[in-house]
């Protein structure tokens, strides 16, 4: 591309301290600040509509199903009968959509601190939420997830943390600490499963927070399992971590496909048995770094993503 071809509106996003990417934007649907963060909803030919918070792409129409199915479906399928679900964050509604796809779910409590972001997503990202906010099984609250969990006695089968990254000065860095995960553990029913998005997992960025989140969870729960998937809009591999005090099964491809057919009754655009096996087979650099990681996130010494 020549200089003459760089015309029109472009979204410039920093990926690493020495690397940024540019996306040509066809339309800016919203740009402004809420009480908590800077928000942009933009539309591009390549990715469709995208949600951008504080300069970081959160999801796009083109590939949000990769992220949301990867975050939600393994935990839901590993649980024998997920009836109650807690979602921390998840303003676009994609995580809620995937959780509600399970016919066993009777109640889903979703907490997203930023009411304005959720309303913007309701308006501008209908292909993300697909009406999930209006499902009668949903209780949607706009308050701090940690405060809510400290004050409720309710317990859940599956707890899903679809949070913004642990950035210094951000809204969610205290939702990745030992203290928070101990609180989450106390709100899981026997056999319950936690899953959290765990930040970038690529060669150049996996030590920012991915290995530390896994190390922190493994210091709290009897069983924890990391996994990863490539999300094109994020420009890298993306990490997730499962945790439970009950053993986490190693499912075969056939078992995953059978559970999807039984519990959802339809195929998923991205996630299936073969994909599941790929996600949980980590490359050597990730296995080596996880084994060598000693840092643990604590309230008084959090590890921030750069």
Question: Is residue 304 in some structural domain?
Answer: no
What's the token pair of residue 222? 């009897």
Strand, helix or coil for residue 48: strand
Residue 16 near residue 29 (C-beta atoms within 8 A):
no
Residue ranges in the chain whose pLDDT is less than 50: 2-3
Domain match, 18 and 71 both: no
Residue 301 lies in a domain: no
The pTM assigned to this predicted structure is 0.96
∠ CA 16-226-282 to the nearest 5 degrees? Answer: 75
- Residues 52 and 119 placed together within one structural domain of the fold: no
My answer on whether 238 and 111 are in the same domain is yes
Same domain, 21 and 167: no
Asked whether residue 147 is domain-assigned, the answer is yes
Residue 172 CB neighbour total at 10 angstroms? 19
**198, 168: one domain:** yes
Please give the residue range of the domain that contains residue 52.
Answer: 3-58
Strand 156-162 relative to strand 188-200: parallel, antiparallel, unpaired? Answer: parallel
Give me the number of domains the chain comprises: 2
Distances in Å between the Cα of 11 and the Cα atoms of 27, 37, 124, 224, 305 are 11, 17, 18, 37, 21
**10 Å Cβ neighbour count for 249?**
10
| DSSP3 helix / strand / coil % (the chain, rounded to 5) | 35, 30, 35
pLDDT of residue 3: 47
Write out the two tokens for 267.
């195929």
Q: Could you tell me if 43 and 101 lie in one domain?
A: no
Last residue of a domain, one of 42, 58, 74: 58
Identify whether 10 is part of a domain: yes
In a domain, 298, yes or no: no
pLDDT of residue 168: 78
Say yes or no: 132 and 213 in one domain.
yes
Q: Report pLDDT for 4.
A: 52
Q: Write the Ramachandran bin of 73: left for phi over 0, alpha for psi from -120 to 50, otherwise beta.
A: alpha
211 lies in a domain?
A: yes
SS3 206: coil
Of the candidates 135, 162, 165, 272, the residue annotated as catalytic is 162
In the 8-state DSSP scheme, what is residue 26?
S
Cα gap 173→163, rounded to integer Å = 9
Evaluate whether residue 302 is within a structural domain. Answer: no
CATH number for the domain harbouring residue 44? 2.30.140.10
Is the distance from CB of 42 to CB of 56 less than 8 angstroms? no
- The answer to whether residues 11 and 78 belong to one domain is no
Look up the CATH number of the domain holding residue 174. 3.40.50.150
Measured CA to CA, the distance from residue 77 to residue 73 in angstroms comes to 6
> Looking at 58, 77, 100, which one is the last position of a domain?
58
| DSSP structure class, residue 153 | -
Active-site residue 162, yes or no? yes
Task: Please spell the DSSP secondary structure of 64-83, one letter per residue.
Answer: HHHHHHHHHHHHHHHSSS--
Same domain (yes/no): 118, 220: yes
Q: Is residue 303 part of a domain?
A: no
The answer on 158 and 266 residing in a single domain is yes
Q: Verify that 256 and 111 share a domain, yes or no.
A: yes
Q: Are residues 82 and 217 in the same domain?
A: yes
């Amino acid at each position: 591309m020549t200089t003459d071809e760089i015309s029109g509106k472009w979204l410039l996003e920093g990926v690493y301290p020495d690397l940024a990417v540019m996306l040509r934007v066809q339309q800016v649907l919203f740009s402004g600040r809420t009480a908590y963060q800077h928000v942009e909803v933009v539309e591009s030919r390549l990715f469709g509509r995208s949600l951008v918070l504080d300069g970081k792409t959160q999801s796009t129409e083109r590939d949000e199903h990769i992220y949301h199915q990867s975050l939600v479906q393994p935990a839901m399928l590993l649980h024998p009968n997920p009836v109650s679900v807690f979602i921390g964050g998840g303003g676009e509604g994609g995580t809620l959509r995937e959780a509600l796809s399970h016919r066993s779910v009777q109640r889903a409590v979703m907490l997203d601190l930023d009411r304005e972001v959720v309303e913007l997503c309701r308006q501008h990202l209908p292909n993300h939420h697909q009406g999930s906010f209006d499902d009668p099984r949903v209780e949607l609250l706009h308050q701090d997830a940690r405060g809510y969990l400290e004050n409720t006695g309710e317990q859940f089968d599956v707890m899903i943390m679809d949070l913004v990254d642990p950035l210094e000065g951000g809204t969610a860095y205290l939702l990745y600490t030992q203290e928070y995960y101990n609180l989450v553990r106390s709100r899981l029913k026997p056999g319950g499963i936690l899953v959290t998005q765990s930040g970038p997992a690529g060669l150049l960025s996996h030590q920012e927070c991915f290995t530390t989140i896994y190390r922190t969870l493994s210091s709290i729960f009897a069983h924890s399992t990391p996994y990863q998937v490539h999300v094109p809009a994020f420009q890298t591999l993306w990490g997730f971590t499962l945790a439970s005090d009950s053993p986490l099964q190693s499912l075969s491809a056939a078992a995953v496909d059978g559970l999807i057919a039984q519990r959802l009754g339809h195929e998923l655009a991205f996630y299936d048995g073969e994909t599941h096996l790929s996600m949980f087979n980590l490359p050597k650099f990730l296995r080596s770094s996880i084994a060598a990681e000693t840092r643990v996130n604590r309230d008084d010494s959090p590890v921030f993503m750069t």
